[in-house]
Structure 1
Amino acid sequence: MKKIINYLYRNNSIVYKVLLFISTAFAIVYFFPKEGKFRYDFSQGKPWQYDNLYAPFDFAIQKTDEEIAEEINRLKTSSKQYFLYNTEVPEKIVMTFKDRMDLLKPSDSLSAKQIAKLTKKGVALINSIYAYGFVDDASEKKINKNSIIVLRKGDIIEDISFDRLIESKDILTKINDEFSDIERSTGKDYVFEELSNLLQSNVQFDAEFTQKELDEFLNDISYTKGKISKDELIILKGDIVEGERFNILNSLKEASKSKIWTKSNYNWLVLGYTLLVALALLMLLLFLQRYRREIFVDNTKVTFIFSNILLMIFAQTLMVKYNPDFLYVIPLSILPIVLKAFFDARLGLFTHVLTVLLLGFIVPNSFEFIYLQIIAGIVTILSVSELYKRASLFISIAQITLIYMVTYFAFSIIKEGNVSNIKGIYFGLFAVNGLLSFLAVFFIYFYEKVFGLVSDVTLLELSNTNSKLLRELNEKAPGTFQHSMQVANLAEAAANEIGANSMLVRTGALYHDIGKMVNPKYFTENQITGVNPHNDLSPKDSAQIILNHVINGIEIAKKNKIPDRIIDFIRTHHGTSLVYYFYKKEKDNNPDEEVEVKKFRYQGPIPFSKETAILMICDAAEAASKSLQQPSAQSIDELIDKIVEGQKNNNQFINSDITFREIEKIKKVIKSKLMNIYHLRVEYPE
């Protein structure tokens, strides 16, 4: 047990990566929908690319969504509308009307006979109005005027035409017609007023009963329209997938889910997904191990990359489950933007492609999705740069959105054969995708704080010479500050020449010698009085002060919360080279003793990236050029060659992934810049 614990402790980094790998793979599989993948890929309007297809089992032909929708609409149109007749209302109105007419007394202008006649006509009018009923205004809006409805009077149900019901707009006409043969009088006006006030609707739309009957009809809808028997030919190789063939293939696809992917083989499905996801993640780890070793050994960075993959897959699978029509709202381009901002374009594109391939298992029209997202990812990598410039990200995202739209347009006209059936909503979804892509700025800021990473925006802030630490360097060690500025200019030009991160190397150059603030007078560039304090020290003590400026620089940088990516330049800018001047002096002072080389050698590490290698070359070249008594093109050329050859012979570049060709380009840039710096003007006559 003790041996196992010791092994795990010694290899904790590998153990962590294994656990991260396993947990990420299972998390991704957990997000995936638990259904099988149909063995054939097909698209409407395209040829069938496989061999002749025969039905593997009996299955029903499913109706299309359009056919089902049409049948539902037909049922809704043809289904009966139920109305409820209230029998109490007419009886109550008749009784109330008679009571009101009893209040009308005979007079010189109105006889009892006339009152009786008006009462009789009024009751007859009420009975005629309520023969089928008086429908309320709200209910009459729910039905076509010529439709046949079902009228329920208690237990009696009767089919009638809706136009037999009396509507509110017809009441006055009905009263006028009934009393048209009677001359206008006080009694007639009285009857008009009473009837107008008393008449009220007694027929209402019975929504609950109507919906109940409609639901019964809808439940009886058949979603199939035929059957395909086992071994029956479905489609020939080369036939166009369209019309009924397309419908039958979709029916087979749906039937396969229930026939093949059952609970009995659920575990096999999960195993298949797990293997495919694990393979993709393994490829990413192998890529990091072989081509991005400095990232692979950093568990924080590996966790950061895996977390971003998991986040994108989670967001996309959530959208697939919620509504696949909104699939392209998720801004997958954020992934390559973020990874390029913190690492490099190649890693960003590689990770993006793997993520899109994984998503291809769960999205509809997987080929279209994969093609579109990979093209968008390539455009992202090519266009997104210099995020610290406000217009840069806006222009890049506009280009990405345009590529989305153009690619979708191309796929649509291939499938539809014309532009009339293109769904305009997708262009809106791509526009929303572009707007959401601006969240990359938020994610970059968030990740900087959580994972301690560095983006171009942070580098721009750090490279500001008015920042607190650089101002302090300028005040305490002005010569070192000027040296750092010159090195930064050389390093930036060299980085641009070989395609390295110029912003990163410039910022690293500005901070690489901040450790000299502790003992500024012990470094030549700060000795403005000509007094050299090393004259009073032994070579060992002098060498120790020189060596300590790296350690002091790291401590100062950490105290001021400078990111580790910049501190790497402080650690590596001398690699494991010797403080040769004091080493030689110690040997000359003690010719008979063996000098301990370790006390005169920087602790390293040696440069492990192109940027740190560039800084080492530029730092040594700029410092050595100050020793030239009479700078000339030849002397500068020989000096730079000598310095770089010495560094190569001391194996300072073996971990930095830099080529001989790139080193030659760097030398050429440095020589050109130094010649411009030391160029002498012609002497003007006095």
Structure 2
Amino acid sequence: MGKILDNAYKYQSLTYKYFLYLVSVALIVFFFPKGGKFKYEFQKGKPWQYENLYAPIDFSIKKSDIEIADEKQSLRNNKTDYYTANVSISEGVKADFQREFQNTFTTNNYTSRQRQRLLTAGLSVIDSLYKSGIFEDLPEANTNILVKNNEATQLTLNDFLTLDLAKQMVSPMLAKKNVSSLNELVNLVQRSLRANVFYNESLTEKALLEELGKISYTRGEVSAGRLIIAKGEVVEAENFKMLKSLKEEYESELWQGNNYYFIILGYTILVALVLVMLFLFLKRYRNEIFKNNNKVTFIFFNILVMVLATTLMVKNNESYVFVVPLCILPLVLKNFFDARLGLFVHVLTVLILGFVVPNSFEYIFLQIIAGIVTILTASELYKRANLFISVGQITLIYIIGYFAFHAIHEGNLDNIEWMLFGIFVLNGLLTLFAQPLIYIYEKMFGLISDVSLLELSDTNSKLLKELSNKAPGTFHHSLQVANLAEAAANEIGANAMLVRVGALYHDIGKMDRPTFFTENQVTNVNPHDDLPPRESAKIIIDHVIKGIEIARKNNIPDRVIDFLRTHHGTTSVYYFYKKQQEIEANVEEDDFRYPGPIPFSKETAILMMADAVEAASKSLKNPTFLMIDEFVEKIVKGQMQANQFLNANITLKEIEVVKKILKQKLTNIYHLRVEYPE
């Protein structure tokens, strides 16, 4: 049992990677749209590269989304408007007219015969006006139907009578009846009239929906065995529609029965192969990342986020697939790791998405080109303008690529989908979200970016300000080391910003007891004179531990703390070791040795060299070119002989370059000049 637990503990890192790999493959396949994959690739305007294709099944030729949308719009433009007549209103109008008539045309002024004649004429006019009805509004559609007493009657434009028009017709209609007292009667009839025909929106909409439901989504049938396209024939409008319809029908039928399991198996194998390539790349070329499960998880997490976002977009509306800002992936990975890894992961992610996106060749081509542009242009993201410039170039690449593909497919620049330009611009705007996303990832995964390094390098920050106040000599030493190390890192292609920040913080532990370090002693009084060498050595060695404690309290990132841990490696405090030997014969050198670890990267190795050289250079008196050259060679050679660079991925050639830069910088610091002959 104990052996099993030991093996489990020993291989826990590898076990976690296997688990992460299996979960990632399962999730990606689960995200994929549920459908088979047509085995032929074709593009409009290009020749058919396969053998003659005959219809394997009966299928319908489907209309395009644009054709269906045009048909629907045509129905909406020519829809039938329904109006409803309220019969009770016309009866009420006649009742109101008769009541007012009795008050207006009294028996004192008119005879019974006159009054009857006028009343009959008025009612006759009202009946005539309400024969079709008086409409509230003028119609908008060409076809109109009046529903009256549950009977529908089709109307022409001449049948429409609005309230204003009805009032204008009263006078001539009464004049034709030759009645006297015309003005009083005209006014009375006009006052009584009210609209009784109203637009029925619900009935109109119901009828429109019925018409829309009758639209056919196909334009004919293709029987099995019919030749669809011959080898070498150009894929044009008609056969393109047949091929597209066959593809949709084939993929929908393929995802049935036992085929389901074989399709899942196929997707699983392909996705598994892609992710194996990623593991092999990390193992062979980025072993330090491969060993760090946190970083591996970060990379896989980003791949899963991009696959999920893209597949969701494909499922909901594939026309907006380019809205997903896929270039955030190489942008973020380059920021935290390097350009080569960022591009490699981007290409693998695009290959995975090529299984599910429409027009996969176009998509893969555009996304890979955009990813390359991202890698080439996005640098120093802590400078805000750089991100905007890079995003602008990415957007331009998308637009130019779309123009090129459109010209190939259509043979002209007609029917350009201008909406896609808006999609590309939106993609660019979403890519700008990389900046806050980097900050979020820093907190989630404990990583560090150039933006954070720039903030940490500010000498007005709280911790560096405290260092300059408590240990001004150490602060000045740290600045000098930062300048030396940054110059050396730039020369060999290391992370100069990281080295500079590590150099600024590497001696913060000296704040605890600053006067015990030579650079902070302003008088000739040395506190070590009153202490045994062993205790003095312990104080010197403890500044590493104290520095790590101070850094953790101030939330300094682990990558910066690595410089505090390694800047002395496992070297010894040689001065106090020798003094202790003068007191006692048998002295263990390990008691005077720093706890380590030794440097494990180019950056930490550079800092060790720069720190030792700068600190020891203070002992030089009247330095010359030769003296500086021998001095630097001696210090670095001693570190190499002590095996301090065994774990650092720095070559002998790079060490020689670092030494050359250190010599040049020290020469500048001491203002050495060439001695001219007398």
Provide TM-score, normalisation by structure 2: 0.90
Question: Quick one: distance in 1 between partners of 2:65 and 2:673?
Answer: 84
State the Cα distance separating 1:571 from its structure 2 match.
1.4
After superposing the two structures, state which structure 1 stretch, 40-49 or 73-82, moved more.
73-82
**Could you say if the C-alpha distance between residues 179 and 463 of structure 1 is closer, same or farther in structure 2, counting changes exceeding 3 Å?**
same
The answer to whether residue 59 in structure 2 is matched with residue 67 in structure 1 is no
Specify the code of the residue in structure 2 equivalent to 1:355: T
Q: Which residue of 2 aligns with 1:170?
A: 165
Distance in 1 separating the partners of 2:279 and 2:70: 53
Contact 2:35 2:252 in 1 (8 A): no
Question: In the alignment, is the contact (CA less than 8 A) between 2:577 and 2:592 conserved in 1?
Answer: yes
Contact 1:413 1:422 in 2 (8 A): no
Residue ranges of structure 1 left out of the alignment (5+ in a row): none
**1:643 aligns to what SS in structure 2?**
helix
Distance 1:414 1:588 in 2: 87
- State the match for 2:628 in structure 1: 636
Q: Secondary structure at the match of 2:258?
A: helix
String of CA shifts for 1:577-613, please: whole Å, max 9, x gaps: 344455566678777x5x6453344333222222112
- Rounded to whole Å, the distance in 2 between the matches of 1:344 and 1:136 is 72
Q: Is the 8 A contact 1:34 1:270 kept in 2?
A: no
2:477 to 467, 478, 483: 483
Alpha-carbon distance in 2 for matches of 1:495, 1:160: 87
Indicate conservation of the 8 Å contact 2:282/2:289, yes or no: yes
Cα pair distance change 1:682/1:294, threshold 3 Å: closer
Secondary structure of the 1:503 match is helix
Q: 8 Å contact 1:121–1:178 — kept in the other structure?
A: no
Partner of residue 602, structure 1: 594
Q: CA deviation at 1:116?
A: 2.9
SS of 2:367's partner is helix
* Alignment of 1:613 onto 2:605: yes
Is 2:132 aligned against 1:132? yes
The 3-state SS of whatever aligns with 1:631 is: coil
Deviation at 1:567, TM superposition (A): 0.6
Q: Which moved further from structure 2: 502-511 or 457-466?
A: 457-466
Of the three residues 279, 287, 298, the one matched with 2:281 is 287
Equivalent position of 1:454 in the other structure: 448
CA RMSD of aligned residues (A): 3.1
Aligned equivalent of 1:118: 118
Distance 1:436-1:222 versus aligned 2 partners, 3 A rule = closer
Q: Is the 8 A contact 2:314 2:357 kept in 1?
A: yes
3-state DSSP of counterpart to 2:175: coil
User: 2:178 matched to 1:180?
Assistant: no
Letter in 2 for 1:143: A
* Equivalent in the alignment of 2:658: 666
- Of residues 490-499 and 193-202 in structure 1, the stretch that sits farther from structure 2 once superposed is 193-202
Counterpart CA distance in 2 for 1:264 and 1:207 is 50
In the TM superposition, what whole-angstrom CA distance separates every residue of 1:268-307 from its partner, at most 9, and x where no partner exists?
3333333333333333333333333333333333333332
Given residue 630 of structure 2, which amino acid in structure 1 is its aligned partner?
A: E
The alpha-carbon distance between structure 1 residues 546 and 58, as it changes in their structure 2 partners (threshold 3 A), is same
**Further displaced range: 252-261 or 384-393:** 384-393
Residue of structure 2 in register with 1:422 after alignment = 416
CA distance in structure 2 between the partners assigned to 1:569 and 1:537 by the alignment: 29
Alignment pair present for 1:43 and 2:67: no
CA distance in structure 1 between the aligned counterparts of 2:643 and 2:56, rounded to whole angstroms = 66
Report the counterpart of residue 390 of structure 1 in structure 2: 384
One-letter identity of the residue aligned with 2:315: K
Helix, strand or coil at the partner of 1:179? helix
Question: Structure 1 residues 280 and 531, CA, compared in 2 at 3 Å: closer, same or farther?
Answer: farther
1:517, 1:75 → 2: CA distance? Answer: 82
1:349-368 equivalent positions in 2, closer than 5 A: 349-368=343-362
Q: 1:428 deviation in Å?
A: 2.2
Distance (Å, rounded) in 1 between the aligned partners of 2:674 and 2:263:
82
Partner of 2:148: 153
Pick the aligned partner of 2:334 from 340, 346, 351. 340
Could you tell me which residue of structure 2 aligns to residue 143 of structure 1? Answer: 141
Aligned mates of 1:155, 1:468 — CA distance in 2: 85
Checking the alignment, whether the CA contact within 8 Å between 2:118 and 2:179 is kept in structure 1 is no
Contact 2:121 2:177 in 1 (8 A): no
Letter in 2 for 1:346: R
Q: Cα 1:585–1:279, aligned 2, differ >3 Å: closer, same or farther? A: farther
Q: Do the aligned partners of 1:104 and 1:115 also contact (CA within 8 Å) in 2?
A: no
Q: Does 1:322 align with 2:316?
A: yes
CA distance change for structure 1 residues 31 and 596 in 2, over 3 Å: closer, same or farther?
A: same
Give the AA of the match of 1:154: N
Q: Tell me what 1:444 maps to.
A: 438
Q: How many Å apart are 1:321 and its aligned residue?
A: 2.9
2:198 paired with 1:200: no
Within 2, Cα distance between the matches of 1:365 and 1:473?
59
> Aligned partners of 1:20 and 1:99: how far apart in 2?
90
Displacement of 1:6 in angstroms is 4.1
**TM-superposed deviation, 1:557:** 1.6
What residue is the counterpart of 1:228 in the other structure?
222
Cα displacement (A) at 1:619: 1.7
Partner in structure 2 of residue 29 of structure 1: 29
SS at match of 2:597: coil
Instruction: Give distance in 2, aligned partners of 1:264 and 1:154.
Output: 60
Q: Distance in 2 between matches of 1:624 and 1:376?
A: 50
Aligned residue identity for 2:311: T
- How far did 1:260 drift? 0.9
- Deviation string 1:183-241 (CA, Å, 9 cap, x unpaired) is 896x3223222222222333334444444444444434332222223232212233222
Equivalent position amino acid for 1:610 in 2:
K
CA offset at residue 155 of structure 1?
Answer: 5.1
Q: Would you say the 8 A contact 1:329–1:433 is kept in 2?
A: yes
Deviation for aligned residue 1:181: 4.5
Distance 1:588 1:376, change over 3 A: farther
Superposition map of 1:494-573 within 5 A: 494-530=488-524, 540-573=534-567
**1:12 shift after superposition:** 3.0
Corresponding pairs, count: 675
Question: Is the contact made by 2:134 and 2:162 (CA closer than 8 Å) also made in structure 1?
Answer: yes
